[in-house]
Amino acid sequence: MAITVVGSVAFDSIETPAGKRERCLGGAATYFALAASYFTNVRVIAVVGEDFGRRQESVFQARGIDMRGIEHTAGKSFFWEGSYLGNLNEAKTLITDLNVFAAFEPKIPEAYRDSEFLFLANIDPVLQRRVRDEMPGVKLVAGDTMNYWINDHKPALLEVLKGLDILLINDTETRTLAGNSNLVQAARAVMAMGPSSLVVKHGEYGATLFHTGEASRTFKAPALPLEEVVDPTGAGDSFAGGFFGYLASQPELTPAVYRKAMFYGSVMGSFACERFGTERTQNLTREEIDQRFNLFRELTHLD
Amino acid sequence: MAITVVGSVAFDSIETPAGKRERCLGGAATYFALAASYFTNVRVIAVVGEDFGRRQESVFQARGIDMRGIEHTAGKSFFWEGSYLGNLNEAKTLITDLNVFAAFEPKIPEAYRDSEFLFLANIDPVLQRRVRDEMPGVKLVAGDTMNYWINDHKPALLEVLKGLDILLINDTETRTLAGNSNLVQAARAVMAMGPSSLVVKHGEYGATLFHTGEASRTFKAPALPLEEVVDPTGAGDSFAGGFFGYLASQPELTPAVYRKAMFYGSVMGSFACERFGTERTQNLTREEIDQRFNLFRELTHLD
């Protein structure tokens, strides 16, 4: 079933201990869409400027991603520059130029309206909520956010959370949102704000899935121990793409399907780190993905 | 098969967000021995002062732990005071009084010499090596250390590593020992120093087992998401006790046995955090342990 994702499509300049890249294709919606495209049909809502041309389009096209919701306007695309020289687990942001993204008004193409899955990538919660409200028929809604919205736009964010089935955020965001340093207690507090499932991403330590309700259970997916983390940019969005893409590909959303989705999330997150930008994620095969899935099974299973 | 463990038996005063305890029974050898005692026979080599009396002895006796190697001398036992008020993942040491431990000269009782498993808890590497050399017939030797020895006593520590089969340390210790911030590369460098297996403990994120050689594989055990961490003191030593105790209880050390040992390590580490000091670890049943083992399986396994 098709996923609609709303979020940023951007250019990133990235420096890591492995090297430097200028103006790679980036943005949360880009990473999410590429990762999810190996599992199901993906439709993107975003805005880009005149610097987004054929070369960037071809990356989406090659993965069969629907771009009718990517609006082209005068000006430059969202640009981010960051460095991981000090800490591979957290980028130091050097430049954020919102450019055309500053006036982003998401428009949902008619052709997207039958999407059964909706992913609200990390953007202004006012926009997240608008898109969510305009797609009342979706079967499952997941979303991401970040500390900036949690700290400075909490009322708007709380409105978004009410409309989410699944929230995917990291440890710090979970603790900050709940105002509680114990992760289990914090997860319960966050789920009381709306989402019935919460995926807490731990970076190099994997991710934990929490559910409300008795029938379900907490589940942990590891991260792959990597010889070299070339560029962690987009790993979290790629996790979300693998996770939500796999869910959208399944006829029924059982607890077992959620667990496999956690593994596919980790798999796509691990690939994202192996090359700069989207280089690795845009050039995978489903066979490589499933081979790595099996590696994750070996890494965690007793038998 | 019997394990001999050499290390500290001590008194700890501990403050955590859950409360405060004065002069609990503590020490690495104590936690290790209690945790391992649910799996196999354990023999302790340590030194205590006149403050170590019947009440403390009875904790070891109740678990059937051999105390003939615990030397009683004039003076006070090793005393440590620490606080977790600022950070539950890392104690702030307020007081360390070595007391009788300052002149510790490990003596191995004759009755211990047929032990097939040896655990060198975190003490001066000069003493670790002496004990190891005096027990040449052991089948498997594991050990622990800490940043202090890595930074300031490296030559002596490197001599110990040559005689170890398994080293159990945390992330920071692994990276510091190897001088490499990438965990996979650091693990390989540490194993090149001697141990053919390395267990890297990640605190609330579980632990990773690395092996040298082609036949074996990396394995990850999670930590249990706990509603309340009452007191993390001794969690790492309890992990080591569960891990090594299970290994010592098995007729053959296959890769599958190592994986189960990682789970038993995490199980014993999780219990240690649930009460102050050794309160929880000294009062378990094997049934509770195996129930929690099954919980760890559910937490990580797809099916």
Considering only residues 239 to 298 of chain B, which have any Cβ-Cβ distance to chain A shorter than 8 Å? 256, 259-260, 263, 297-298
* DSSP, res B250: S
B299: nearest CA in chain A?
A: A219
Nearest CA in chain B to A227: B184
User: In this complex, is the C-beta atom of B184 within 8 Å of any C-beta atom belonging to chain A?
Assistant: yes
Chain B hits for A181, CB-CB cut-off 8 Å, are 88
CB contact under 8 A, B181 and A206: no
Handedness of CA B42, B48, B52, B53 (dihedral sign): positive
pLDDT at residue A23 in the model: 97
Looking at the predicted complex, does its ipTM rise above 0.90?
yes
Closest listed residue to residue B145, CA positions, set B186, B203, B183, B200: B200
- Put the strands of the sheet holding B78-83 in their side by side order: B19-26, B10-16, B78-83, B92-97
Q: Is the pLDDT of residue B32 over 60?
A: yes
pLDDT tens per residue across all 303 residues of chain A: 999 999 999 999 999 999 999 999 999 999 999 999 999 999 999 999 999 999 999 999 999 999 999 999 999 999 999 999 988 888 999 999 999 999 999 999 999 999 999 999 999 999 999 999 999 999 999 999 999 999 999 999 999 999 999 999 999 999 999 999 999 999 999 999 999 999 999 999 999 999 997 556 899 999 999 989 999 999 999 999 999 999 999 999 999 999 999 999 999 999 999 999 999 999 999 999 999 999 999 999 998
Confirm if B9 and B123 have CB atoms less than 8 A apart. no
Question: What whole-number percentage of chain B has pLDDT above 70?
Answer: 99
> Phi-psi category of B64—alpha, beta or left, where left has phi over 0 and alpha has psi -120 to 50?
left
CA distances from B293 to A160, B26, B258, B260, B271 (A): 38, 25, 14, 9, 11
| Identity of residue B245 | G
B57-103 pLDDT, tens digit per residue, is: 999 999 999 999 999 999 999 999 999 998 888 899 999 999 999 99
Query: Is the sign of the CA dihedral A187, A189, A190, A193 positive or negative?
Result: positive
Binning pLDDT at 50, 70 and 90, where does residue B214 land?
Answer: low
B225 vs A183: CB contact, 8 Å cut-off? Answer: yes
State how far the Cα of B281 lies from the Cα of B71, in Å rounded to an integer.
Answer: 23
Joined tokens for residue B118:
């040896």
CA distance A174 to B179: 32
Interchain contact, B218 vs A204, CB within 8 Å: no
- What pLDDT sits at residue B89? 84
pLDDT of B157 strictly over 60: yes
| pLDDT number for residue A216 | 63
What is the rounded CA–CA span in Å between residue B91 and residue B81?
A: 9
Nearest to A260 among B88, B217, B302 (CB): B302
Q: Which of B183, B219, B227 sits opposite A184 (nearest CB)?
A: B227
Separation between Cα atoms, residue A165 and residue B52, nearest integer Å:
56
> 3-state DSSP: chain A helix, strand, coil percent, rounded to 5?
40, 25, 35
Chain B closest-CA separation from residue A136 CA (Å): 32
Identity of the residue in B182, B226, B300 whose CB atom sits nearest the CB atom of A227: B182
Look at A302 and B259 and tell me if their CB atoms are within 8 Å.
Answer: yes
* Cα B190 from Cα B194, distance rounded (Å): 7
Measure the CA–CA gap between A241 and A264, rounded to whole angstroms.
Answer: 9
DSSP state at residue A222: P
Instruction: Of A186, A183, A113, A176, give the one whose Cα is nearest residue A145.
Output: A176
pLDDT digits (tens, 9 = 90+) for B179-212: 999 999 999 999 999 999 999 999 999 999 999 9
Encoded tokens for B9: 């038996």
DSSP β-ladder status, B166-170 and B197-201: parallel
- The answer to whether residues A230 and A276 touch, using CB atoms and an 8 Å cutoff, is yes
Question: How many helices (DSSP H) and strands (DSSP E) are in chain B?
Answer: 10, 13
Rounded distance, CA B279 to CA B276, Å?
A: 6
* pLDDT confidence of residue A214: 59
Q: In this predicted structure, what is the pLDDT of residue B222?
A: 95
Question: Which residues does chain B have within 8 Å of residue A217's beta carbon, measured at their own beta carbons?
Answer: 298-299
Q: Are A227 and B184 inside 8 Å of each other by CB?
A: yes
pLDDT band, very low/low/confident/very high, at B143 (cuts 50, 70, 90): very high
Evaluate if residue B216 carries a pLDDT over 80. Answer: no
Cβ–Cβ contact B85 with A under 8 A: no
Q: How far apart (Å, rounded) are the C-alpha atoms in residues A209 and B25?
A: 37
